[in-house]
Every structure is written in structure tokens, then in C-alpha cells.
Structure 1
Amino acid sequence: MVTYTKQSGFIREFDVPIKELGLKGITTDNNENAWFYHSTNKTSAIFRFDSKAEIFTQYNVGGDTTVEVPIINLAGGQLVFDKSRNVIWFTDARTNSIGKLRVNEEKIELIPIPTPRAGPMGIILSPDQKSVWFAEIIGDKIAKLDIESNKITEYSTGKETGPTLLTFDDNGVLWVTSSYSNNVFRVQPGLLDSIISSGITSLTLPKPDLFSPFGIAVVTKDGTQKIFVSDHGSSRVIYSDASLQSYISYWTSPSKIYPTTLPSQIVSDKAENIYFVQHGGNRISKINVNSGIMTEYDIPTGPLSTVVYLSASDGEKRVWFTEWAANKIGYLDTEISVPFDLQISKDQTKIPRNTPYEIDAFVTAESQNSPISLTSVGLAVVGMSDEGLKGITYNANPQWLDMTNNSQINSKITLEADNTAPAGKHTLMVRVSAFEKDDLVVSKLFPVSIDLDPADTFAGSQNTFGTEKLEKVSLDDITKFLAMAVAAGLLGLLIYNRIKRTKKLES
């Protein structure tokens, strides 16, 4: 999985001083220190990385292992920094506990979870800072830890829902991804203790579209909530309204070695940027909510360093992440700008069949000191599905641009849909890419929504979808289940099936 380490001008990595694999979640404190979690079948620990002195400090969790190996590999290891108390809260699947690390005292306290083998996963502080909420991916529950009393209250989300990661929006509503049931839960905490059924609303994409929600972030833009959800069984991030009924798919660039890019955890900053990692694509990605442009950065270690979790620093200068297969942590320096940009003449269009349709791509560049070479800037069109463009061809004229002495170049992109292109609404991504010195790629992608009428000569033209993702073959269904297990320990379908069998035996 790891055969090279290159040099990047945007990303810096650090080797973690421990031999066993097991890196998971990461967060930062007020002093720009990175805190991250490591677990094996017998031990778990919290590490602090002083980014200024570049020194690691290890805090052993202790406690007995109370769960099976598959649960340890699948769940646990998420952290959140409590500024007011100077405390690191974390989920520890190995001991089936919520952990509390008092930073000043360097002391760890474990609070047992009532449900055995719960598989605690995501964790977050409530807006009023009085409670800690977490998800139980095996226990099929979300739970609240009252900080003053250490009391844990659990709420069922339904059998085999697999609550995974969670976030609060500006209105105090809790959003939870449900990886096993293709749902996202909208939770109103104030209603849970009276009528649970009224406090939890299940949302999903319009059929026949399905997804494996993993990471989630909620941004309020112009008074409207926008939801970003990663599809961890696919190659896209969903950008939607609060109902998940009106959405577009941000398709990532194809993976070099894996069938899909498996977007994973998502975080947001205060500047209306969304960051996520591509577990199968080996990239760190950014979406600017205002411009709609997605930027992708190749991770220097590859081809599969297995990056699943990340965190934006409080100062918003760095986005930290852990690399499971490489046993490294790293950060993307968000203050280093990409010296080129992309604008598209049309972001929504109806494409006629068998007729060339032209859009303009305006590539601009700034003459500045940059780790990127502007001598060979390439244009391409990707997206539409996990398998790429279906029945649509494109031609960019010119396709390769020399931007060293040009502030702007207009490339004509011609799209043509034949009769095999599936009818309905889809998203294409116009991509502009350039190279760093070690052939690491940095790309910017602009989403273009297209609409195709049914084709008279296409036998499958009756399958007109009002969604973007086509019904998938069995191989893709297998990939969906693999993705969740691979995210934690690369044990694949075996882990998932073992957990499912264990739950059936218990019932």
C-alpha cells in the first residue's frame, strides 16, 4: 500500500514513533498542537504532537480490552478538544468507554458505555459545552454524556443503522451519518428525552440513488443550511439542502489504484471551506462554498497511505490528518495558495444528443513563487458516475496550457452525448491540473450540472432518473461494504460479516 514518499510544497508529514499500525482520529488545541488516537488489539493511546518543537508525547489509555478485534478495528478513536476545560474527549472502542484526558494533569479517566461492545465512533461537544455526544456504530445508538455527572444516556437509531460521525449546526441540531442504512439522521436533542421518535428524523437521497454516508458538515450560507455528506462507498461528496432532496454530486478525480476514491471524514472552517480526505484517492480535498470550486492535493506518501480522518486547526492555517498504512500524521498548509484558477461559462446546461455542445473554460494564473509548475496545465472532464463519463465524450481545445507567461487562457470544451448516455440530471466536473516537482498533482474542479432527455433509440431510455447516480452492478455494492471496514483496519468484508454474525447470534 505504501511504496513511495515524495516532497510536496503544500503538505508536510511526520513519522509517528510507534511500530504498530492503528492511527485513527485527530484534533488540535489552542496552541496548534495536534492530538491523535492510536489503538491495537491490546492497547490504546493518545498522542500529542508539538508542531513547533516537533515532539511527540504519548499518554497510554490503560483499561482492559472488552470487545472483539473486528470492533476495535472498525470503531473508536475520534477526539474533540474541550477549550473551556482544557480536556481531550475521545471514543475508545477497545475498552468500550468514553475517555477524558485532562491536559494539565496528564490524567486519563474512562467512563464505561452502558451498551456492551457499542463500538463508539464519532464524538462532539454540544453547543452549550455541557455534554458530549457520540455515535455507537455497533450499538446502533447515539448517546449523550453529561459532563457534570458523567451520566450517559443512549438513544436507539434502529437496527443495523450504524451511526458513524456527527456534527452540530448553528441551530443546535445534531446531524449523524448512518453508514449501514444509507441515511442521515437529523436529531433535535431537546425532544429526545420526551419523545424519541419526534427527536430523530431519518433523511436519505431520492430513490433509486443510494449512498454510504460517512463524514458530514453543515454550513449556513445566506441564511440557508447546506449539507455536505461524503459517500464512502463511492467517489463523491453530496452537496444538498437540509432535506437531501435537492442536491448535486461533487465527483472527485478518478483514483489511480482503487475502484473508487472513498471520500471520508469532512470538516469545515469559519471561512466557508469544506475539507475532506479521499481514502481510496490518496488526496486531501477542499470545497469553497462560495465559488463552488473543489481543490485536490495529492498526499506525498502513497499510493495508498490510508487517510480517513482529519481536523481543521482552530487558527484555520492547517488541516491535520492521520495515515493508517504509513504510520504518519501530516497537515495541509492552507495559507499556501494554488497559483491557478478556473471559471466555467455555464454551470447548468441541457445537453442535446449527438450534437456538439461547447462551453468555455477560463484558466487564470498568477505569476508568483509556487511549488507548482505552470508550463503544462491540463484540462479534462471527469465525474458523472463512479465509472466515469457514460456516453459522453469531450474535447478541450487547447487541452494543455502553458501559463508561465499568460495570465488567462480560454479553452473551448466540446461535449457530445450519444444515445447510450443515460437520461436525467448528472454532474460533470471540469478539471484543471498541474504538477509539483515530484509529479504530485494539484487540481481544481468546477461542477457543471447537465440534463439529458431520453433517447428514442436507446433501449434503456425509460429509466429516466431525477437523480445523479445510476443503479450499480454488484461489484459496486460489494465495494460499499468493503469501504466501511477498510476505513478502520483494511480487513474488508471479513470484518463486516463477522460483526453482523455476532449481532445475529446475540439477538
Structure 2
Amino acid sequence: MWRTKGLPYTQQNRRLTWLLPLLCLFLWLLPACSNFTQDNQAGSSNGTQDAPPLTLSTSGRFREYTLPQAHSGLMRPAVDSQGRIWFSEMSRGYLAVLDPRTRALQQMTPPESAGGLMGVTVAPDDTIWFAEEYGNFIGHYDPRSGQFKNYHLPTLSIPDPQDAQKTLKLSSAPNEIVFDPHGNAWFTELNADSVGMLNTKTGKVQQYPLSAQPSVQKLNPYGLALDRQGMLWITLSSSAQLARLDPASGNVQLYPLPDPQLYLMQVTSDRQGTIWATGFNKLQLLKFEPASTCFTSYLVSSKKSQETGGTVYDVVALSNGDIWMSVPSENALARLDAKSDTLTFTPLPTSGAYPLGLALSSDETQLWFTESASDKIGSYQLG
């Protein structure tokens, strides 16, 4: 481990220098990727395959489970009530589940899978919901029956920049997904610059544009979180703002970020209602207090050079106030201690693992994460 003092980050007026290749391709080449994956995976079926028990390696508090194939495209995990880990394998088009007790892995290809599985969440009834960006639907899987059901989203039409007489068809591109207390599924729509709501009882989908004039690919809403007051918080990966949506009224509030060159990735809300968001193009953790509308920024870097370029991907908040992040450029997990305001970096055992998604066990004793470059599912024992 190594530590840095979590002092607020001083704004620097500098141009964007680079974006991590995976995220750059994912966000900016989404339409092209959609066409490619759909053309090449149109014949996929909802087959299920059981892999041999995964190889487990341990190092200190870390446990790593190696998947049976390379280039899985691991994104974000979710933990069900039995402690099983659900996750998407974007490059393979799989919805997968790992049972840590037996190391058993099951991989399923949802019907109409187009290689764009991203956000995965576990509903209160322990069924699985996921966002398929390229396939343009919200998917539902019931582990008890083994049945899938897809809820399709509107297709967008935009002028073809190369031919004014033609239009291009784009998916709404659902990305992150969360549930409200009423059982509705909310999700971000990268291309549609909107937040969608699926009434799981009726199957009806409603869209909430995040700008006064509906737009396409101007904001690119990415992360999504629900606070204790029922408000939805949305990160925008192409605009230096944090968005809040009131589900009751449909009203949207946009909060300009203190750094106009910062774009955000993931977001969460802690038990006090404070909002925490990660930097997409800079190594920052952003704290936002809704009551005062005040921002505090933390530089998430262990390097003495205080290099700011990079991505802090996911973020989770513990009940004790500690904040955990995945930092791909550091190949580490980072913790902001609630009492000392100090950042601690814990490097992963596997070099170049590129950690992305995070998920807490229900008792907050295990922090689960995906290693997108090493094709592993990892856990870190907390406490």
C-alpha cells in the first residue's frame, strides 16, 4: 500500500491530452461498434455453458478467479443475496455468474445479444437486469427459470454528416442501471442524452431528456445513482456537469463542475446523501454536497509528479463513510478514509490488470472488482 494526503485538487487550465483507449473507443465509436458487433453476432442464441471450476489465486487479502478465455471484456459486477457474482463479458456477449464457494462459472448468451452488455444489477427478487447497448434493450434474466426477456428501446435518427440526404440510425445505448423502491428500472442512455425508466410491471419505457432541447451524443450520460431521498444522479462523460433528475416531477438540474475540462465517469451516494463521482479524463474523485451545492475535488494519484491525466473508473461508499475506487492507471484500488481524509492505494497482485467495475458484498466484508486486461474476477477483504 501507499498513501497520499487527500487534499482538494487545485484546478489546472490544461487541455485534454488523452483518453484511455478502451473507454475512448467505447464512447466515441459506439455507432460503428454497434454495426460491427451486430453483423458478426446476429446468429447468437441464448445458450448456456458451464465452465470447469475457475483457477483461484490468493495474495494477502486478494483472491483472483481466472476466466477460461481471453479478451472477455469484463465490465461491472453485481452481488446477489447468495453471494454469487454476476457480470457482463462485453467482448463475448455473455452474461456470467461466478459462485465463489465452488468456483463454478456459468456463461449465458442472452437472446439478441450484440456484444454490448454493460451495466448489470440484481433486483430485490434476486433476478438479474442488464443493459445491452448495441442491441438497444434492457434485459431481464430469472435464474430460477433460466428465462430471458428483453425490453427494446427507441431507435434514434440523426443526419448523416457525410450525406445530407440520408439519416443514420443509432441505438439509445443503455449503459448503467439501478432500481428505485417502487421496482422501476432506471438507466442512462449514452446516445439519447437521456435517462430511461422501465416500469417492470407494465413493460412501458419512459425517457427523460437531460437537456432543455433534446439532443443526441452531446452529453453522453454514463453513471447513475439513487440517493436516499429518491433523487437520481447522473454523470455526463462529454459535458463538465453533474445532473440530478427528480423522478416525481421529471425536473432536471445541472450543476457545472469546478473544473470546466473535467468529465465524469461513475457516481454513488453515501448514507449521508453526499454524492461521489469519478473522473473520466482526469485522476479525480469529486465530492458534491447537495444541500450547499459545494464541490470538493481529490487528486487520485500516488505519483510525486502529481500527474492528472487518467481515469478513476468506479466508486462505492461504505456505511462507515469510506470511499473505494478502482484506478486503472495505477493498477490499484484506492480508499479515501472518512476520518483522516487520506487516500490509500492498494496495488493489485496481477500487473496490468486494468481494474474497472466494483461491487460490495451485502455485509461489506468483500469488495469485488473486474480485471478487464487480465480476464479475472477479483475480491479484496475489507476490514
Shorter-chain TM-score: which interval? 0.7 to 0.9
Question: 2:71 corresponds to which residue?
Answer: 20
Query: Higher RCO, 1 or 2 (CA under 8 Å, sep at least 6)?
Result: 2
Counterpart CA distance in 2 for 1:220 and 1:86 is 23
Question: 1:247 corresponds to which residue?
Answer: 296
Question: 1:88 corresponds to which residue?
Answer: 128
Superposition deviation, residue 150 in structure 1: 1.1
Query: Alpha carbons of 1:255 and 1:177: their partners in 2 closer, same or farther (altered >3 Å)?
Result: farther
Q: Indicate yes or no: 2:350 matched with 1:301.
A: yes
Q: Indicate yes or no: 2:242 matched with 1:184.
A: yes
Query: Alpha carbons of 1:259 and 1:287: their partners in 2 closer, same or farther (altered >3 Å)?
Result: closer
Structure 1 residue identity aligned to 2:196: A
Superposition deviation, residue 130 in structure 1: 1.9
Question: 1:371 corresponds to which residue?
Answer: none
Counterpart CA distance in 2 for 1:6 and 1:38 is 21
Q: Indicate yes or no: 2:211 matched with 1:152.
A: no
Superposition deviation, residue 7 in structure 1: 6.2
**Cα deviation code 1:330-385 (max 9, x no counterpart):** 011113xxxxxxxxxxxxxxxxxxxxxxxxxxxxxxxxxxxxxxxxxxxxxxxxxx
* Residue pairs, 1:28-67, within 5 angstroms: 28-40=79-91, 44-63=93-112, 65=114
Question: 2:229 corresponds to which residue?
Answer: 171
Q: From 155, 179, 182, give the equivalent of 1:125.
A: 179
Counterpart CA distance in 1 for 2:74 and 2:295 is 36
| Alpha carbons 2:234, 2:242 under 8 Å: kept | yes
Q: From 139, 151, 160, give the equivalent of 2:192.
A: 139
| Alpha carbons 1:205, 1:245 under 8 Å: kept | no
Superposition deviation, residue 220 in structure 1: 4.1
Length, aligned pairs only: 308
**Cα deviation code 1:13-34 (max 9, x no counterpart):** 1111233332111100111111
Q: From 112, 134, 137, give the equivalent of 1:97.
A: 137
Larger Rg: 1
Structure 2 residue identity aligned to 1:174: L
Instruction: Give the RMSD, CA atoms, in angstroms.
Output: 2.4
> In terms of mean alpha carbon deviation, does 209-218 or 135-144 score higher?
209-218
Unaligned runs of 5+ in 1: 193-198, 336-507
Superposition deviation, residue 261 in structure 1: 4.2
- Aligned with 1:98: secondary structure? strand
- Aligned with 2:101: secondary structure? coil
**Cα deviation code 1:448-481 (max 9, x no counterpart):** xxxxxxxxxxxxxxxxxxxxxxxxxxxxxxxxxx
> In terms of mean alpha carbon deviation, does 100-109 or 283-292 score higher?
283-292
Counterpart CA distance in 1 for 2:309 and 2:318 is 26
Q: From 301, 305, 328, give the equivalent of 2:376.
A: 328
Q: Indicate yes or no: 2:108 matched with 1:78.
A: no
Superposition deviation, residue 248 in structure 1: 3.5
Please report the TM-score for the alignment, with normalisation by the length of structure 1: 0.57
Question: 2:313 corresponds to which residue?
Answer: 264
Structure 2 residue identity aligned to 1:145: L
- Aligned with 2:249: secondary structure? helix
Counterpart CA distance in 1 for 2:226 and 2:70 is 36
Question: 2:159 corresponds to which residue?
Answer: none
Counterpart CA distance in 2 for 1:150 and 1:293 is 45
| Alpha carbons 2:98, 2:105 under 8 Å: kept | yes
| Alpha carbons 2:153, 2:205 under 8 Å: kept | yes
Superposition deviation, residue 210 in structure 1: 3.1
Q: Indicate yes or no: 2:328 matched with 1:288.
A: no
Counterpart CA distance in 1 for 2:102 and 2:129 is 24
| Alpha carbons 2:96, 2:108 under 8 Å: kept | yes
Superposition deviation, residue 319 in structure 1: 0.8
- Aligned with 1:329: secondary structure? strand
Query: Alpha carbons of 1:315 and 1:286: their partners in 2 closer, same or farther (altered >3 Å)?
Result: same
Counterpart CA distance in 2 for 1:187 and 1:200 is 5
Question: 2:323 corresponds to which residue?
Answer: 274
- Aligned with 1:280: secondary structure? helix
| Alpha carbons 2:93, 2:113 under 8 Å: kept | no
Q: Indicate yes or no: 2:362 matched with 1:314.
A: yes
Q: From 209, 212, 216, give the equivalent of 2:267.
A: 216
Counterpart CA distance in 2 for 1:264 and 1:6 is 24
Counterpart CA distance in 2 for 1:173 and 1:320 is 26
Question: 1:354 corresponds to which residue?
Answer: none
Counterpart CA distance in 2 for 1:24 and 1:275 is 17
Superposition deviation, residue 244 in structure 1: 4.9
| Alpha carbons 1:261, 1:281 under 8 Å: kept | no
Superposition deviation, residue 329 in structure 1: 0.8
Q: From 161, 168, 191, give the equivalent of 2:219.
A: 161
Question: 1:114 corresponds to which residue?
Answer: 154
| Alpha carbons 2:64, 2:379 under 8 Å: kept | yes
